[in-house]
Amino acid sequence: MPPDTNVLQRAPARVVTATLNYLVPGAEKPKRYLYDRPGQPEWTGINDPHAMPIADARGREAEFTLERNGFALLRQPSVERDFNDEAAITGAYYDECAAIVRQATGAGRVLVFDHTSRGPNQPREPVMRVHNDYTEKSAPQRVRDLLPGEAAALLGHRYVFINVWRPIGHTVIDTPLALCDAASFTEDDLIMTDLIYEDRVGEIASVRHSPKHRWVFFSHMTPDEVVLIKCHDTARDGRARLSFHSAFADPTAPADAQPRQSIEIRTVAFFED
């Protein structure tokens, strides 16, 4: 289905201008090392910060869909409230997220395989770089890693990597999530980037800057809401295949705003077509 290129051209209720960290394209493939290397750089890329307008899409939630824009906001209260129990997260909450993705996409099967919690007293901080989590190389490899016995059959059909992003504990005021409308970029904007672990090498996409990029965020997201983010769709029929994204410092947030806490669940949805 062709994307609606007029969605983000309508006058938004509010626009903030904030810094988004893109990447300077270079001759060498950028690398991020995810293990300790004393005296060696963690990151070989060159950040390219740009002040970008980011439209507040609050009140316009229904305008944005996974298939047209690469992301969608849904009201989906969870039975899990504090997200401190790892067994509850990987059990009941994984099941919740699988059901959310099945309902949103019509997928016959959804595998939940990973999660990351971010914020104070969490394993990681919000990512302040424009990026996408999977690439043409790393997406099929992830399926092979997760389901080695079934991968050959599954890779012959459509599959979609979708993240389920939810605030934890309180409404997001500080460091919200910015999402780029899929109708405003091409895959030429992506810069393949290695993630180097001690025992393996993964690949994500960083992004080169373009003034054509149209960004939105959903202000004051609550723990009863989730954003679904497409990270890789194998379909090439005109629908959105991904939406790169980044946390950003909202210059309009009050100085005493609580730091953002969030949980991001990673899923892959499989289809029979």
* CATH 3.40.50 assigned to 16-34+43-270: no
In this prediction, the residues of the chain whose per-residue pLDDT falls under 50 are: 1-8, 12
Residue 40, token pair as written in the block: 């060696």
Tell the burial category of 53 from Cβ atoms under 10 Å away from its Cβ (0-12, 13-18, 19+).
middle
Q: Considering the entire predicted model, what is its pTM?
A: 0.93
The residue with tokens 């997760």 is 146
Cα 80 from Cα 83, distance rounded (Å): 6
Helix (H, G, I), strand (E, B) or coil at 242: coil
Q: What was the pLDDT predicted at 96?
A: 98
What is residue 13's predicted lDDT score, i.e. its pLDDT?
65
The pLDDT of residue 121: 79
* CA–CA separation, 136 and 141 (whole Å): 9
Q: How far apart are CA 158 and CA 160, in angstroms?
A: 7
